[in-house]
Structure 1
Amino acid sequence: MYCYTCSDIVKEFKKHDKKPDKYIKHWSAIKPKTGVPYTIDIGYERFLGPEIFFNPEIYSADFSTPLPELIDRCVLSAPIDTRRALYKNIVLSGGSTMFKDFHKRLQSDIKKIVDERVAATNAHHRVEVRPIEVNVVAHPIQSYAVWFGVQ
């Protein structure tokens, strides 16, 4: 409800440190069993939660491959003639993809990986590989898309 995906984690920390009152949200509820009201302050957690998809090493050293890199590896494992179409149609599905601006961050990170590979290929082989379009599709019902089969 309060979380969002940031484009640059360092800038986000600075922004929160500079004006904490502006960015800290307060959540109030009542404990179901006791009926006692309580309030929680949510600060850095707002952007650190979704950041685990892009920097998993902040959670555990056992997991170090970011989601954009996993998606890139998956596309590269597909037949070569289908890769451009796959990069153009990355569809999000599931509740964890519903964070604000998640699709924008995922698209920019995958685009960065792909552009670096194209530039390296162009430089190494002295050929002109045309740019690859990357498009991450965010759908209004993406939290239920797996059941609907959204394409």
Structure 2
Amino acid sequence: MLIDQILKTKGDVVTTIEASKSLSDAARLLDEKKIGAVVAMNGTSLAGVLSERDIARQVARHGRDALDLTVEESMTRGVITANPAETIDQCLGRMTDRRIRHLPVMRDGELAGIISIGDLVKWKIEETRAEADAMADYIKGG
């Protein structure tokens, strides 16, 4: 299954935040949306990804003052991305190798969506279940 198919079902809405915003703003946004990571933008350009883990690290280092830091000072840069024509297995492999949980999906240089490792595992289970059901039907019919 291709990432594009997942986005068509899941939707292409991506929660973003300007990289210049504070960690306090980012934490509120994550809480409000009930999500674990947000895509940081500089205008219309992908700047990074900020996760709950990034915020926790800054709080551990700087205490309450961390909430005044900017997203840009705390986010993961050099973001690993996916494209819509990739497969679930390609993206799962990349996420496992790089130990990341979220992949922004880029189409023609534009942010087209985001997938999490949870999204991919869910789809992989469904794909495997469908294959097993098809095999069982074939065996019963043969």
TM-score by length of 1: 0.33
Greater Cα radius of gyration, structure 1 or 2:
1
The normalised TM-score by structure 2 is 0.35
